[in-house]
Structure 1
Amino acid sequence: MTRTHHAIEMFDYHIWANKTLFNRLVELQNDVYHQEIQSVFPSISKVVSHMYIVDQLWFHIISGVSMSEALEIEKVETDTRSIEKIVLMFQELYDRYRDLLNNQVDLDEVVVLDTPWAGRRETSLSEMVMHLVTHGSYHRGNITAMLRQMGHPSVTTDLTSYWYADRT
């Protein structure tokens, strides 16, 4: 049995967890998705927009663009779009990620990451992917809390749920 790089396995979990949560948001429709709320973000759509922008930012960085250049790339503001449109945008981005991670980069390569807020650090591309995954987990938790605050149940996106999920 060939084992996939752990970072790719975790990225696949990230995709599954986002898809699972986004499917729930589609069920609740756009009035819940765009509803203003006093919480960690002003609306769920703002959280999802932030997640998309960050996922896109790290795609560029993992592709070899410097952090300063990646921060200058025009960000697609997504918070006013429908959840259905956002799901398609994430899918397109994740298709590009899959090609990048499976065919174009060495995930064990160590590069210098130079962030404006923390400075320079040597890190592997796989560590960057792991950061992306944990960032997504953090914000899926925000969304779950916001849904509960609005009186709606969320869905489970724990890693163990992914392990046992029927993903066929």
Structure 2
Amino acid sequence: MSNYPVQMFEYHTWASQAILGKIKELPPSVLSQEVNSSFPTIAHALTHIYAVDKMWYMVLTGTGMPEALQACMLLNAKIMSSVDEYANEFAQLSEQYREWFRGQADLEQTILLDNPFAGIRQTSLAEIVLHLVNHGTYHRGNVSTMLRQLGHSSTMNDYALFWYQEAAK
């Protein structure tokens, strides 16, 4: 595939579902067990990933970043009660992104991004997609560490494994 931002987004979707699949194998209480990490619980980390994914979707579909950030803050406060709920919400949002990609002819198109924390800049749609993938990868690493702190193994969700999973399809 030559459309790397879309391919990277597909990796992001796959990796999120992979780690959620691993968490599904564990006792439900693992979501809410407190750990000494960058998030107090795995549920908080998953909520943050989802809220930021949703925020960038809103920006990509025309919402101003200040308004999207406000919505993200509200989502960040809503901890979901089960791994299935997270998996379903992530899957639904991924479908919204895919629909957006189908209607988007030029990911090199730029928009004026008004980031209240960093300022105003022209940013390509592709840069935003790649940022959201990178953000998710970073925080899935947090989740993997949290799982290990709780005495559980994580699961491999590297981009290189995604290559082989996709080739096998």
Aligned to 1:60: 58
For 1:69, the equivalent position in structure 2 comes to 67
Name the counterpart of 2:32: 34
CA RMSD of aligned residues (A): 1.5
Is structure 2 residue 140 aligned with structure 1 residue 140?
yes
Where 2:79 maps in the other structure, the secondary structure is coil
Residue 160 of structure 1 corresponds to which residue in structure 2?
160
| Match of residue 108 from structure 1 | 108
| 1:23 matched residue in structure 2 | 21
| Contact 1:78/1:86 (8 A) holds in 2 | no
User: Please, what TM-score do these two structures have when normalized by structure 1?
Assistant: 0.93
Shift of 1:106: 2.6
Identity of aligned residues (%): 39
Give per-residue Cα distances to partners, 1:44-100, cap 9 Å, x unaligned: 000000001000000000111110121233733442421111110111111001000
AA aligned to 2:14 is W
Q: Aligned in 2, Cα 1:87/1:133: closer, same or farther, shift over 3 Å?
A: same
Shift, 1:31, TM fit: 0.6
Structure 1: gaps spanning 5 or more residues: none
Shift of 1:105: 5.5
- Name the residue aligned to 2:85: 85
- After superposition, the Cα gap between the structure-2 partners of 1:101 and 1:144, relative to the gap in structure 1 and judged at 3 Å, is same
Q: Do the aligned partners of 1:61 and 1:70 also contact (CA within 8 Å) in 2?
A: yes
| Aligned-partner residue type, residue 151 of structure 1 | G
Kindly state the Cα deviation for residue 29 of structure 1 after the two structures are TM-superposed: 3.2
Moved over 4 A (4+): none
User: Whole-Å Cα distance in 2 between the matches of residues 54 and 14 of structure 1?
Assistant: 13
Verify the 8 A CA contact 1:110 1:125 in the aligned structure 2. Answer: yes
Equivalent-residue separation in structure 1 for 2:83 and 2:17 (angstroms): 11
Aligned residues: 166
Unpaired runs of at least 5, structure 2: none
Q: Is the 8 Å Cα contact of residues 49 and 79 (structure 1) preserved in structure 2?
A: yes
